[in-house]
Chain A
């Protein structure tokens, strides 16, 4: 679908509503495209965002229950324990927070897919972390059950095995993409993740490569929130930064339609 390009004047007029999240999905998509190209509007948006942060102070103040502090810090302490373990070959390129997420994702896959997950589990050699993972059951439960949602990422025809990974979404704008089964690329190429808006426009959500065992794990952050997107696709693009819009063949993807209608 061809979309009318926003002029700078119109974009500038609609920027306050965009910052407030008060535009309809299609108008938001047009604005996101303009922002990608316009440094003036990006700076303008940054200043409006600052104002919106300040606006959050103007509410009656009330303290949360003391128990909440204990729960948050217990979770953090559990995660801190996990991430102190030594790096492993399959994980060493990931920052430590991503390793914690990966460990969580591994346990999630285990629950959901049985035998396949056992294989992953063994190959990642995280047996030493089993105890720590058990301590993290609350953590896993929150990503799984807290209006969390996941979908299998399926390969396009002719790309080998049909399921090449999973996408796990948390409430808001954050998700974890776990890839297991995309072929390693030649040097100079990367896989690029695209989030697909309701009107079929694409927004880049980052690039990645896979290791020799065809795996990768990355955090995917949606501009705005997940509800603005109907799907996710992966293409092969020139590295290291990828492309502004998809140019290479689509190799895999998944629908976010269920998430849009309310998720789990």
Chain B
């Protein structure tokens, strides 16, 4: 049976303007891209727009990925997160200062629930990352959640949580450093590549 081409091989095909390669990459990554956009934007149409833009950008500018190196999946999720947060901030402007809020319901760490067609990398990783988040304190998880999924700045978090800015800064710093440390300790990168 023919071996499934790797992401790197598909990206090389994409550079040669092979649009079939994009179809395979879409099948492999669209679900995780869409799910992240949906989690941030809470709007299916907006999440589909972001997903479409992420894959069209990959098609138009594949060299932007190659220049940065590293596995494709997490890179796509970074691009997705930045686009979704940008959209969220822009669409939230009219509602501010009613936002930012820090509703407790947003602050849990969601369980990954991969479907049958999900590409294996994100399933394995979601479990590892979920476990790593479980090693953080509630306060550390909270600032990561607010910054990463809600797009709040440290100052906005301080206002929303009623905490001194310095406290929030310390939490953000220690939370992300600690998360990086745990993931490195657990050798998570070997699951990605």
A238-251 Cβ-contact flags toward B at 8 Å (1 or 0): 00000000000000
Q: Which of A57, A101, A146 contacts B126 (CB 8 A)?
A: A57
How many interface residues does chain B have, given as a range? 35 or more
CB-CB under 8 A from B125, the residues of chain A are 54, 57
Question: Are A22 and B172 neighbours in the complex by a CB distance under 8 Å?
Answer: yes
Tell me whether A198 is interfacial, beta carbon within 8 Å.
no
Q: Which of A101, A171, A174 contacts B87 (CB 8 A)?
A: A171
Which A residues have a C-beta under 8 Å from some C-beta of B? 13-14, 16-17, 19-24, 46-65, 68-69, 71-73, 75-77, 79-80, 83-84, 95-97, 100-101, 142, 146-147, 170-174, 219, 221, 225, 227, 262-263
Q: Which of A20, A69, A263 contacts B148 (CB 8 A)?
A: A20
CB-CB under 8 A from B56, the residues of chain A are 72, 75-76
> Most B CB atoms within 10 A — which of A54, A76, A146, A262?
A54
Number of A-B contacts (CB under 8 A): 206
> Most A CB atoms within 10 A — which of B62, B77, B189?
B77
Question: Are B61 and A55 neighbours in the complex by a CB distance under 8 Å?
Answer: no
The 6 A-B residue pairs with the shortest CB-CB distance in the complex, in nearest-first order = A53-B74, A56-B77, A16-B176, A59-B39, A64-B34, A57-B126
Question: Are A49 and B90 neighbours in the complex by a CB distance under 8 Å?
Answer: no
Q: How far is the CA of A168 from the CA of B76 in the complex (A)?
A: 23
Q: How far is the CA of A64 from the CA of B172 in the complex (A)?
A: 32
Contact status of A23 and B154, CB under 8 A, knowing A49-B78, A58-B133: yes
Q: Which of A23, A47, A56, A75 contacts B78 (CB 8 A)?
A: A56
Question: Are A64 and B51 neighbours in the complex by a CB distance under 8 Å?
Answer: yes
Question: Are A21 and B147 neighbours in the complex by a CB distance under 8 Å?
Answer: yes
Tell me whether B4 is interfacial, beta carbon within 8 Å.
no
Q: How far is the CA of A23 from the CA of B157 in the complex (A)?
A: 11
CB-CB under 8 A from B19, the residues of chain A are 73, 76-77, 80
Q: How far is the CB of A99 from chain B (nearest CB, A)?
A: 11
Question: Are A56 and B30 neighbours in the complex by a CB distance under 8 Å?
Answer: no
